[in-house]
């Protein structure tokens, strides 16, 4: 299902529901009230809000009111949209955004009676422009991280070593997109996030071999390897020997 934008009037009687998709709501005229989690928002010409998916919101309108709602219903959301909807947000509608809202308010109803393809295409264009306008205001370019805080990454890896970890998880910890994170990470470390993760896993495995009586199978599970065989192969590539030989050497020392 494509993303969609439409003009609507908030009901006079309070309603509460949630959606399986994230949603932007902008005030056009009059005033509506929305409560998202613990935040109350007066939707008017100066304010809008971002509502994450599966988030209950309570809303109603005062007398005559109109709003624009944008539903991000596509199955795969891009990184920018995911970042916008990490949490409920309230934002101020500045003059340039207000002018575009006025344009969308006039034009969207004109396409209601057109062909499905024509309406969907115009609606998608409106959605894309709103996304860019909002991104520029929520995440100014000068706030984009220029370095990776490796201490934050290392703490996260240490606490989740036994779990499946992906670049998206790490990027969220330092508040940037996966693609930007990947670029910064290579600049900072000289290797990819995946290579760094494997290095941390195998170093942790060696530490456990040398300091505990855990079995090699237990260590492979504890450090996030899919099997003992995967640990053996990675360990040998890194250190030139197998976990078993390290364990035997420790036993001789004892």
Domain segments of the chain as ranges = 4-141, 150-253
pTM summary value: 0.53
Q: What is the pLDDT of residue 47?
A: 85
Query: Residue 197 forms beta bridges with which residues?
Result: none
Distances (CA, A) of 77 to 42, 51, 55, 203: 28, 15, 17, 35
User: Domain 4-141 adopts which CATH fold?
Assistant: Jelly Rolls (2.60.120)
Q: What is the pLDDT of residue 140?
A: 59
Q: What is the pLDDT of residue 222?
A: 95
Q: What is the pLDDT of residue 48?
A: 87
Cα–Cα dist 56/15, whole Å: 10
Write down the CATH number for the domain with range 150-253.
1.10.10.60
Q: What is the pLDDT of residue 142?
A: 47
Q: What is the pLDDT of residue 252?
A: 45
Q: What is the mean pLDDT of each run of 10 residues along the chain (254 residues)?
A: 78 90 89 84 86 90 86 78 83 85 82 61 82 76 68 93 90 82 88 93 93 92 92 92 82 49
């Amino acid at each position: 299902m494509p993303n969609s934008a439409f003009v609507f009037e908030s009901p006079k009687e309070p309603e509460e529901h949630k959606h399986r998709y994230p949603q932007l709501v902008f005030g056009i005229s009059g005033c509506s009230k929305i409560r998202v989690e613990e935040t109350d928002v007066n939707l008017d010409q100066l304010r809008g809000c971002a509502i994450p998916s599966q988030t209950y919101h309570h809303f109603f309108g005062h007398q005559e009111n109109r709003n624009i709602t944008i539903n991000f219903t596509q199955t795969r959301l891009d990184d920018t949209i995911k970042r916008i909807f990490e949490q409920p947000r309230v934002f101020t509608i500045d003059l340039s955004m207000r002018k575009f809202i006025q344009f969308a308010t006039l034009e969207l109803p004109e396409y209601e009676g057109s062909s499905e393809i024509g309406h969907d295409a115009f609606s998608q264009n409106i959605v894309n422009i709103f996304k860019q306008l909002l991104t520029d205001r929520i995440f100014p370019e000068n706030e984009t991280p220029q370095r990776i805080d490796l201490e934050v990454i290392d703490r996260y890896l240490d606490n989740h070593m036994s779990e499946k970890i992906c670049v998206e998880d790490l990027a969220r910890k330092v508040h940037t997109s996966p693609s930007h994170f990947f670029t910064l990470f290579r600049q900072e470390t000289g290797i990819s996030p995946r290579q760094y993760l494997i290095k941390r896993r195998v170093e942790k495995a060696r530490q456990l071999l040398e300091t505990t009586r855990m079995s090699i199978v237990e260590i492979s599970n504890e450090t996030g390897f899919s099997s003992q065989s995967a640990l053996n192969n990675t360990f040998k590539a890194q250190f030139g020997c197998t976990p078993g030989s390290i364990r035997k050497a420790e036993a001789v020392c004892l």
